[in-house]
Amino acid sequence: MQDSLDPTSSALTALAASLPPSVKVALAQGADASSKVLVVQLARAQKRNALDDITVLALAAVFDSLPPGVGAVVLEGEGEHFSAGLDLSELSERDIVGGIAHSRLWHRIFENIQFGRVPVVAVLKGAVIGGGLELASTAHIRVAEVSAFYALPEGQRGIFVGGGGSVRLPQLIGVSRMMDMMLTGRVYDAQAGQEMGLSHYLVEAGKGLEKALELARRICANVPTTNFAVMHALPRIAASDPAAGYLTESLMAAIAQGDEEAKRRIRDFLAKRAGKVAAPE
């Protein structure tokens, strides 16, 4: 982890002490003194941060026990890679029933990342492969470094995605492109991944964490009710029929507008105490 990250607070200390060596956590400053960004690092660099059950269960523990005051999470990988996916040594002794249970375990844990308490910004670099790409797709914002490359080698391994990729990835890149990646083993580089929607931001090598923290601090500055609506309501509205979507949108808009912090911000804007949106430089 970088020296600028501050692993403090009793809650963070207790959480960090409970985790295996394959997952590390630290706090970074949020939008102000009252908010924090939790940096979660996959720490199996010697295995390109491949995901074994110990690591995935540790991620579950982290997202179940976010320290107070955390407004966003940054998820990154130690070393040169984000994650090369499932540690295939974990498949050796698993029968069909066990395979189903294992997949459903990943589903529950990844669901709690996507639909958790706070937004997640992922830093993608090097290998973002198989289960690593499935994990990345749970994040709400993805920052890719130019070294990132994407693949779904399950077809060549004789297996199938099992961490929710067949649900999340077609929403990002389409069913046809996912079929191509699985059937042919096609690998996309960072620029292609940016163009097709696997990442939202593309930055130079070594700049991913810096950009992710910048974005996470912006997220922390939002009203929590709005962040909740964007995380939980928006994807469900998009997946629903239009009539249900419009109704859910109306309900969520009313809830957000009723928040006292939202009312204060609207008053500040009308009184010209808040800045207007400007064109990008």
Answer left, alpha or beta for residue 236, where phi above 0 means left and psi between -120 and 50 means alpha.
Answer: alpha
Q: Whole-angstrom Cα distance, residue 167 to residue 183?
A: 17
Please indicate whether residue 260 is annotated as part of the active site.
no
The domains of the chain, with CATH numbers, are: 10-220 (3.90.226.10), 224-270 (1.10.12.10)
pLDDT at position 92: 66
- Out of 76, 78, 145, 154, the active site residue is 154
pLDDT value of position 242: 97
pLDDT score for 214? 96
Q: What is the pLDDT of residues 194-231, one digit of tens each?
A: 999 999 999 999 999 999 999 999 999 999 999 999 99
Give the three-state DSSP class for 204.
coil
Tens digit of pLDDT for each residue in 45-104?
999 999 999 999 999 999 999 998 999 999 999 999 999 999 887 776 778 898 899 999
**Distance in angstroms (rounded) separating the CA atoms of residues 265 and 260:** 9
> Is 111 among the residues known to form the active site?
no
CB atoms within 10 A of CB 10: 9
Between CA 170 and CA 262 the distance in angstroms is 34
Task: Give the phi and the psi of residue 29 in degrees, each rounded to 5.
Answer: -65, 140
For 96, phi then psi, to 5°, come to -60, -45
Mean pLDDT check: name the lowest of 11-20, 25-34, 64-73. Answer: 25-34
Q: What is the pLDDT of residues 217-269, one digit of tens each?
A: 999 999 999 999 999 999 999 999 999 999 999 999 999 999 998 899 888 88
Distance CA 157, CA 196 (A): 25
Q: Which of 76, 78, 134, 145 is catalytic?
A: 134
Mapped onto helix, strand or coil, the DSSP state of residue 67 is: coil
Phi–psi pair at 271, nearest 5 degrees: -90, 10
Q: Is the pLDDT of residue 133 over 70?
A: yes
CA neighbor of 190 nearest in space, from 180, 181, 207, 203? 203
pLDDT score recorded for residue 254:
96
In sequence order, what are the beta bridge partners of 150? 128, 188
Average pLDDT over residues 133-155: 97
What does the alpha-carbon distance between residue 113 and residue 119 come to, in Å, rounded to a whole number?
8
Mean pLDDT score of the chain, rounded to an integer? 93
Distance between first and last Cα of the chain: 32
CA distance 112 to 15: 17
**46-49 contacts, C-beta under 8 A, 24 or more apart:** 47/84, 47/87, 48/79, 48/80, 48/81, 48/83, 48/84, 48/126, 48/127, 49/77, 49/78, 49/79, 49/81, 49/82, 49/83, 49/84, 49/127, 49/132
Listed residue (74, 86, 83, 87) closest to 1, CA to CA: 74
State the Cα–Cα distance between residues 145 and 36, nearest whole angstrom.
24
